[in-house]
Amino acid sequence: MDMNPPKQDEAAFPPVRIRVRLKPGREKPVLRGSAWIFSGAIDETDGDAPPGAAADVFDHAGDWLARGLWHPAADMAVRLLTQDPHQALDETFFRDRIRRAVALRRRLYGPPAPDAPTNAFRLVFSEADGLSGLVADQYADAVLLQVGAKVWEPWLPVLADELKAAAGARTVCLRADPDAVQREGLSEPLGGDPAPDTVRFRENGFIFEAGLAGGQKTGFYLDQRDNRRKVAAYARGRSVLSAFCYTGAFEVNAARAGAATLLGWDSSEPALAQARLHHEWNPSGVPATYEAVDVPRRLRLARDRRESWDLIILDPPRLVTSRGTLEKGLRAYKDINLLAVKLLTPGGILATFSCSGLVGMDDFRKMLGWAAHDAGRSLRILEVLGQPADHPVPVEAPECEYLKGLVCVAD
């Protein structure tokens, strides 16, 4: 069956380079707004094209569905970008997508002025901004663009140039997602401006620093911005344990809120060195102690020593990386939450989080329920937490809602 794209103005729209026909019934996710075509859904193509080429996608009957960027060797073969048959995937298209993404953040937070309470935001959030595989974060006058798909390589100069202009940034650094380097053959280095070793910025009125040049511990978790403030509201007069504390932002907020004592655990000494600096830069009069430990093992030791805290924050790294690791990851979540619940004083507060996109809130609640049951404690949910507005979630892509948290009181 011949596959032809819809009639269009050839002067305004250069011909696409490859046509993709799906297997019978595989068009349904596309019609629902999915941004992905997996290789297993493809019946045939009309030739060869390099990564980053435009691809028109058709159902099995030959009806046009959508247009995206093609990667012949990736499991995610097409990243869909538009369902408008007259919309070309060209420089104008990509510059417009960047401008729209940045404009939303400016409406939400205003410009990143040096004296603004917050001048660090997520500017581009992959599928949520119609740019699947791209994430851009602004830290004051620097932007870090993390590339998670090889299809973007031909467009990186245009994307970096538009980000610099739209965000008013001094520098735009490019970094390859390590998973994408292995998974899709993404090239390194990607170019862009030289990355500063660190850049200082403000969040909720506090001063922090992020590393942009790479290394063991870099960047900053902007997605916890609102949650740090909300959890801090429970810290006044309480002993606080922050497990998987990274560079100490939860503790900085808790200290200013009047925590009685602060203890942070993380496996990375470089991250803890940064946490100590953050605590010095944001003085509160509340001392903070940081220990480089294997957190699950240290939690078990605390149980054996009968230690306890009034407020425990659990913010582990992603424990579920694929559907095949879901069961194992949920067991890992349960283990650390069970230990944390045992370590809470009567009336103590647990603020627990998961950044694993494959763990839904229902699974997370069930996991926590079993952890409380096995710990012999009763938990009541006080607040349900998530990601901030600069990490929006498309209604047709619930997998973008990756961050979830629960604040509970233990009886």
Catalytic site includes residue 355: yes
By the 10 Å C-beta count (0-12 exposed, 13-18 middle, 19+ buried), 40 is classed as exposed
How, if at all, do strands 142-147 and 134-139 pair? antiparallel
Handedness of CA 69, 71, 76, 77 (dihedral sign): positive
Question: What is the three-class DSSP state of 392?
Answer: coil
Is the N-terminal amide bond of 189 cis, ω within 30° of 0? yes
State which H helix or E strand residue 42 sits in.
Answer: strand 42-45
Report the C-alpha gap between 379 and 362 in whole angstroms. Answer: 16
Report the C-alpha gap between 337 and 366 in whole angstroms. Answer: 12
Here the tokens at position 134 are 């791209």
Closest by CA position to 71, among listed 186, 194, 167, 217: 186
State which H helix or E strand residue 96 sits in.
Answer: helix 91-109
Closest by CA position to 138, among listed 155, 120, 156: 120
Within 8 A by CB and 6+ apart from 122, the residues are: 105, 135, 136, 137, 138, 222, 223, 390, 391
Running DSSP on this structure, what letter comes out for residue 14? Answer: P
* C-alpha pair distances (Å), 300 with each of 86, 213, 310, 339: 60, 35, 17, 7
Residue from 173, 355, 400, 408 carrying the catalytic annotation: 355
Long-range (24+ apart) CB contacts under 8 A made by 80-87 are 80/30, 80/34, 80/35, 80/36, 80/37, 80/132, 81/35, 81/130, 81/131, 81/132, 82/130, 83/30, 83/33, 85/5, 85/6, 85/8, 86/6, 86/8, 86/9, 86/13
Here the tokens at position 300 are 């078990």
Asked whether the beta carbons of 309 and 240 are under 8 A apart, the reply is yes
Q: What positions carry a catalytic annotation?
A: 355
